[in-house]
Amino acid sequence: MKLFLIVWVLLMPGAAWPGVIILGSVHGDAAGEIKRLLPLAGYLGRRLQSEGISQGKVVVAKSVSQMATYMREGKVDLYIDSPFPSLAVSRLSGSRFLLRRWKKGVAEYHSVIFVKKDSDLRRLEDLKGKTLAFERPSSSSGYFFPKIALLQEGLKLVPKTEPTEPVGPEEVGYVFSFSDENIMVWVLRGKVIAGSTDNERYREQARQRLDGLQIIYRTFSFPRHIVSHRADLPADVVAGVKEVLIKMDQSEEGRKVLREFERTTKFDELPGAASSQLLETRRFVDVEIGLR
């Protein structure tokens, strides 16, 4: 009951709370997400006292746009998510990337587009007139980056409601499977001609059928998760946060909190190359979020 009151309070944010560092997240399960992020928020609150911070709180938004609004209004100080939603929030609110998060030991990953080995498809162009499966619209590795790759190849992507829906010869149809496993099963069973997921899940889902699959395209590598901060967060606080997060894996307390936060390995500096490549995708992001 107490937890729900807290959630309710945090879900109804007003202005920024003085002395409080607020972590934001986009998720359908607000309570679960708060439970997941609250140790990290508390840790930050305790560690940022020198910056006038004495407390850490969590705010969960229902969508990227809502999160962008919260950050723009100063109701969320920090936002941790995969590259595509982080880019979208950044484009909508002006938030800035701060650090890279190693999630479950993975610092960065990339997307793959795969087909069955016994198919004739070997290039992205071969997908014309076919339908492939993405994971979900908010997925970085399962949708956004492979889609960018396809678009950059000059292919015309057309959304379909069913894999069996006809596709024009110059088009590439796509459907959302909403599951990496679905994508793998659909490709293996021929429901779709190709699928896209990240490199880790590809191996995970292919299992012993790996030999029967063929990757026809790999995207560039991008950070697993990105920590962003609102644009108007004071620089000392940003610096303080950066220092605390980067040093988290160096203390027992910090490692404990990291483990509790989805087995996060550590936070580190966002590599420069990765930042550049992410920035190059801005126009695609703008299209996706309707800014263009």
Partner 1 sequence: MKLSIRVKLIGFTFCLVLLVGGSIALYSVFQGRRQILTTFENDSRGVTALLAAAMANDLYFLDVRSLHRRLESARVNPDISYTYVMDLDGTVLADGTVENALRDQRLTDPFTRETLRADGWITRTEEKLLKIGGPILMPDGQHIGHLQLGFALQPAFQLVHDATGAILYLTVFCLAVGVVLAMMIATSFTRPLLSLMAALQEIRVGRLGTRLSVKRSDEFGVVGESINQMAEALQKDHEEITRVGESLRESEGRLRFLLETTNAIPWEADARSWRFTYVGPQAVNLLGYPLERWREEDFWRSHLHPDDREYAAEFCLKSSRSLKDYDFEYRMITADGRAVWIHDVVSVVSVNGEPETLRGFMVDITRRKQAEFEAARQRAEVAHIGRVSTAGELAASMAHELNQPLGAILSNAEAAEMFLNQEPPALGEVREILADIRKDDQRAGDVIHRMRALLRRHEMETELLDINGLAEEAVKLVYADAVLRRTELSVGLASGLPPVKGDRVHLQQVLLNLILNGMEAMATIPPGQRELVVRTEQGENGTVKIAVSDSGPGIPPDKLPKLFEPFFTTKKEGLGMGLSIARTIVEAHRGQIWAKSNSGVGATFYVTLPASKEHAA
138 binds partner 1 (CB under 8 A): no
Find the binding residues for partner 1 in span 168-197 (CB under 8 A): 177-179, 181-182, 185-186, 188-189, 191
In angstroms, give the least distance from the CB of 122 to partner 1: 24
**2 vs 189, which CB is nearer to partner 1?**
189
Query: Distance between CA 215 and CA 33 in Å, rounded?
Result: 34
Find the binding residues for partner 1 in span 225-284 (CB under 8 A): none
In angstroms, give the least distance from the CB of 134 to partner 1: 14
In angstroms, give the least distance from the CB of 185 to partner 1: 5
Question: Residue 33, SS3?
Answer: helix
**Residue 86 vs residues 47, 182, 226, 234: alpha-carbon distances, Å:** 24, 25, 7, 20
Q: Which of 262, 239, 258 is nearest to 249 (CA)?
A: 258
In angstroms, give the least distance from the CB of 145 to partner 1: 21
228, β-bridge pairs: 79, 97
**105 vs 212, which CB is nearer to partner 1?**
212
Find the binding residues for partner 1 in span 6-45 (CB under 8 A): none
**118 vs 252, which CB is nearer to partner 1?**
118
**185 vs 246, which CB is nearer to partner 1?**
185
* Burial call 148-175: b when 16+ CB within 10 Å, e when fewer: bbbeeeebebeebeebeeebeeebbbbb
Question: Residue 266, SS3?
Answer: strand
Helices (H), 136-271: 145-152, 180-189, 199-206, 235-246, 252-260
**Number of amino acids touching partner 1 (CB under 8 A):** 13
Residue 69 CB partners (closer than 8 Å, separation 6+): 61, 92, 93
**53 vs 206, which CB is nearer to partner 1?**
206
In angstroms, give the least distance from the CB of 214 to partner 1: 17
**208 vs 250, which CB is nearer to partner 1?**
208
Query: Distance between CA 193 and CA 132 in Å, rounded?
Result: 6
In angstroms, give the least distance from the CB of 127 to partner 1: 20
- DSSP secondary structure code for residue 17 in this structure: P
Find the binding residues for partner 1 in span 194-213 (CB under 8 A): 207-209
Q: Which of 224, 217, 223, 219 is nearest to 132 (CA)?
A: 217
**210 vs 279, which CB is nearer to partner 1?**
210
Name the site residues for partner 1 (rule: CB under 8 A): 177-179, 181-182, 185-186, 188-189, 191, 207-209
